A and B are shown apart, each in its own frame.
Chain A
Amino acid sequence: MPSLSYVAAVNRALRDEMARDERVCVLGEDVSQGITGLTKGLAAVYGTDRVVDMPLSEQAFTSLATGAAIAGQRPVVEFQIPSLLYLVFEQIANQAHKFSLMTGGQAAVPVTYLFPGSGSRSGMAGQHSDHPYSLLAHVGIKTAVPSTPSDAYGLLLSAIREPDPVAVFAPTLLMGASEEIDDDDLEAVPLGSARVCREGTDVTVVAVGHLVPVALQVAEGMAGEASVEVIDPRTVYPVDWETLGKSITRTGRLVVIDDSNRMCGFGAEIVATAVEEFGLTVPPVRLSRPDGAVIPYALNLDHALLPDGRGLAGAIRAVLR
């Protein structure tokens, strides 16, 4: 079976959507050169008027995409660093997101925001190591954090086809990942559909992005000890509450592992809803970055602040006790 890398899957989704729909265009810094890998080769096929290198003006080009989307285009905007989200928060949260309601439904804003290299980049320090998807979930932007190449393909397809703004985060630690998959098996993955990655009966682990393979490995390693169900929500907004609810109600135990800061992070939302709605039998545990985390440069300090498999194994044992 052919092997598909995460980066190639995103690239493939962009190619396929550009071929299918001529309104789809790609805007961003160095996109014609494909510096992040995601847009490599697109300019040669679709031209530099559809794959457009932007000046270093993120705020303007984010809202340029909003204007173009209202006027009928389907822009995909790539940001070189996830923390550029902080620059363009106004343009996404206050403009693109609000346009539909504020105009009484006159206009939709079908823009896709791509954030490659999200999360720690091991040695890129404070301003290049954030993984800020929880912020967009909080605002209510539809937001995907695909954990496999085929999900990256399928979720990006859905993102581009969605009539609303959608953000897609590609975690740094997955960008080198690959998967054996037939081209014919690549398909759109609906936003808001979780995947049960591994079935189990004792405890539900909800893991996001690069922590999904970590959770699967931990679950396998603990197979003799406990039957661990692993769920990948795939989109952090909207959340597939039905799939999560079924699992958590059945196991009665929940651990969430999520690479957000703890305060008001995605993990907090899952835990809160589970407590309110899903009849937990023991208190849930969430693993995250600490409150207010700023990732230090030195590698050992960087790693010390990130949720990991060892912590997850401990948390699973704690809820089983």
Chain B
Amino acid sequence: MRLIREFEEHCLEKALAGTIVGGIHPYIGQEAVAVGVSACLRADDVITSTHRGHGHVLAKGADPARALAELYGASTGLNRGRGGSMHAADVSLGIYGANGIVGAGAPIAVGAAWAARRAGRDDRVAVAFFGDGALSQGVVLEAFNMAALWSLPVLFVCENNGYATSLPVDRGLAGDPVTRAAGFGLTAEAVDGMDVEAVAEAAGRAVDACRAGAGPHFLECATYRFHGHHTVEHLMGTKYRDDDEVAGAWSRDPLTRQRDRLTPEAAAEVDTEIAVLIAEAEAFASSSPGSDPGDALDYLYAGLVPARPGA
């Protein structure tokens, strides 16, 4: 959690400075979800993530230096500078990518689980992370149906941070998430998404059950994003949460809660270790080269396409 928090703080600074172009959707406040769930995963499990994806990608084991390099557009980045914040991926680690389209990752996770079964490996779990807003996307509900229909090892993790951009969840969603998921035949429960141990405990049960062939699971994690929807939000002149609400959420900061469970020495050790990692990531990312503009279409196709005349 400390790694994600510090990584995101660093990104906020670099987005403001313009080193990171396009801005980011900060994950600050929601760290316990990515970390609690990923603690239950194996290296060969798959995740799909969202526009707010740095936390998931790092928690699943992506190299923070290459993640930062990606955000700097460097050729050493996770996606060789082609993807940026919203598409960060490391397929070799089962990270099938952040995603710029809300809800888009859920059926991709179902596809990964389906493929694992076909390969005779359905002890592999696929986790789809998405927000409360994504519960209104048709594809997410269609993905629930297919996962349940074929009893696939998928864990759907809904991070309910109370808002889809400016839309409060009670103005976007009829009914409640757990009941909705249960209606599709998913084994569904809600958990305090700002308590990493509670998340890990619930996710652990769900992941074990998925591996054991008990079919898809759904976890609603109640959480909060401490910052704006996106780093340019302050330019949009929006006001949809009052200051007391945001301050109240900080008092439930998942990092503080976990820190209180550690000895001061252990906590200080984590802080030092993370400070070193961030410094190393910055050194790596800022000294990495970009790509030649002539290579802008590299990787467009895996196969060949004949050149057109004049090109």
Contact = CB atoms under 8 A, between A and B. Distances in A.
Contacts of A245: none
Interface stretch (A19-27, A188-196, A223-231, A300-308): A300-308
Contact of B172 (A55, A293, A301): A55
A303 B87 contact: no
B304 interface: no
12 contacts: A33-B166, A37-B236, A53-B172, A55-B164, A56-B102, A57-B137, A84-B101, A123-B84, A125-B100, A290-B297, A291-B305, A298-B74
Minimum-distance CB pairs A-B, first 6 = A123-B22, A123-B21, A297-B84, A298-B73, A127-B100, A304-B293
Interface stretch (B37-45, B75-83, B178-186, B277-285): B75-83
Interface in B12-46: 20-23
Contacts of B293: 300-301, 303-304
A9 to B, nearest CB: 18
Given A56-B103, A297-B21, 8 more contacts: A56-B134, A122-B22, A124-B100, A127-B86, A292-B300, A296-B82, A297-B22, A298-B74
B138 to A, nearest CB: 6
Interface in B100-125: 100-103
B204 interface: no
A287 B295 CA distance: 19
Contacts, number: 134
A35 B238 CA distance: 7
B295 to A, nearest CB: 7
A297 B166 contact: no
Nearest to B171: A53
A298 B82 contact: yes
B290 A300 contact: yes
Contacts of A34: 236-238
A53 B167 contact: yes
A183 to B, nearest CB: 23
A232 interface: no
B264 interface: no
Nearest to B72: A298
A293 B86 CA distance: 18
Contacts of B102: 56
Interface in A165-193: none
Interface string B262-297: 000000000000000000000000000011011111
B22 A60 contact: no
Interface of A: 29-30, 32-35, 37, 40, 53, 55-57, 59-60, 81, 83-84, 87, 121-128, 262, 290-294, 296-305
Contact of A33 (B21, B99, B238): B238
A260 to B, nearest CB: 15
B164 A56 contact: yes
Nearest to B167: A53
Contacts of A299: 21, 73
A124 B238 CA distance: 21
Interface residues of B, number: 49
Given A29-B165, A56-B134, A297-B73, A124 B236 contact: no
B86 A128 contact: yes
Task: Identify the interface centre among A33, A37, A84, A298: most chain B CB within 10 Å of its CB.
Answer: A298
Nearest to A302: B296
Given A33-B240, A35-B236, A300 B84 contact: no
Interface string B169-180: 001110000000
Interface of B: 20-23, 70, 73-74, 79, 81-87, 99-103, 133-134, 136-138, 164-167, 171-173, 236-240, 290-291, 293-297, 300-301, 305, 308, 311
A203 B166 CA distance: 49
A35 B100 contact: no
A55 B167 contact: yes
A304 B294 contact: yes
Contacts of A294: 297, 300
B86 to A, nearest CB: 6
B137 A56 contact: yes
Contacts of B240: 33
Contact of A301 (B23, B70, B81): B81
Nearest to B102: A56
Given A53-B167, A125-B86, A298 B81 contact: yes
B311 to A, nearest CB: 8
Contacts of B294: 304
A262 B297 CA distance: 14
A27 to B, nearest CB: 13
A35 B165 contact: yes
A204 B238 CA distance: 44
A237 to B, nearest CB: 25
Given A57-B137, A121-B22, A125-B87, A305 B296 contact: yes
Contacts of A124: 22, 84, 86, 100
A134 to B, nearest CB: 17
Contacts of B173: 55
B68 to A, nearest CB: 13
A202 B63 CA distance: 57
A90 B238 CA distance: 32
Contacts of B290: 298, 300
Task: Identify the interface centre among A34, A55, A127, A299: most chain B CB within 10 Å of its CB.
Answer: A55
Contacts of B167: 29-30, 53, 55
Nearest to A301: B296
A301 B167 CA distance: 34
